[in-house]
Copies of this chain bind each other. A is one copy, B any other.
Amino acid sequence: MSEFSLIQRFFAEQAGLPGSREGTEQVSGLRVGIGDDCAVLDLAAGEELVTTTDTLVSGVHFPEDAEAELIGQRALRVNLSDVAAMGAQARWFLLSLTLPDEDENWLEGFSDGLFSAARQYGCSLIGGNTTRGPLSISITAFGTVPKGKALLRSGARAGDEIYVTGSLGDAAAALGVIGLPDTWGTIPGSQKEATASLIKRYWQPSPRLAEGLVLRDLASAAIDISDGLLADLGHIAKASDLGAELRLAALPQSSALRAAVSNDAERNVLALAGGDDYELCFTVHPDKVSVLDGEIAEGRLIASRVGRMVAGGGMRCYDKNGQEVSFDKSGYQHF
């Protein structure tokens, strides 16, 4: 199969999908889609474009024998998480797929997974390429946001409250079961019993796009949590020339995580530094906290207040007695 027919069969011709050539005119803002040297995008007046790119490598970001469908939908989801962190609406994506061979079953599964996530989050494949080589997937995602409204890492001020969406640590708890290289080091064997719900959190992270839209006029800064809360909140702190204080007891943890990991300290390490959460961490000025809490109360987003931005640098964590607890960069806890 040539690159051309492979692209046609598994990507361009996904019947009824906005990514198909026939569907180009149905995709808002898309003047030229798959099948030319470039895609051509026509933004509406007052819109800005946000764009991000990421690569997933077989054996590094997912096990070599992982199901193609899971790989396909996860690849798009993790990219869209960056779009969500800007408060932008997901619109389009480019795919660059490097394949060791033309395994049609694999391509079918991958394509199914990819387009299932594309439909769920309302974005369209607009171009890309396939090439020969060790399996890896590069996606460039695009979103739009009203001019000047993108949520940046640099907007936090001292006194802003820190929130996170959803719950933390689930995907990290599942990693041992999934068989990825252990990058967080300290998890004992008992956690190999992480439940199916934790594994799903790894394979099907939920980019918080709807939440990002709610936060556009409420948050002062935002980031998505891919490397763990400590590291990613650290990026907000650094970009805003501030420090941050976290209350460990406030870290949102799912009942599945509590069932799988009984030790509080171990769960906190997962929640602070496990990574692969793809939740949003954001800061809110005290004047807007009551509006935000109203949005939470009305169920427009699920989020927990976990700490506060402070003047000066550094990240500090406090236990329920107000005692400071020390972690190093990797999240390892020092008693």
Contact = CB atoms under 8 A, between A and B. Distances in A.
Interface of A: 31-32, 35-43, 45, 48-55, 57-61, 82-83, 85-86, 88, 94-96, 98, 126-129, 131-134, 136, 138, 140, 142-143, 145, 147-148, 150, 152-154, 222-224, 239
A266 to B, nearest CB: 24
A88 B51 contact: no
A96 B82 CA distance: 15
A18 to B, nearest CB: 16
A82 B37 contact: yes
As for how many copies of this chain the complex holds, the number is: 2
B57 A49 contact: no
Closest 5 CB pairs of A and B: A57-B133, A38-B50, A138-B138, A37-B85, A37-B82
A258 to B, nearest CB: 30
B86 A153 contact: no
A278 to B, nearest CB: 11
Contacts of A142: 51
A148 B32 CA distance: 10
B138 A55 contact: yes
A88 B50 contact: no
B39 A52 contact: yes
Given A37-B224, A41-B49, A85-B37, A133 B134 contact: yes
Contacts of A55: 96, 98, 129, 131, 133, 136, 138
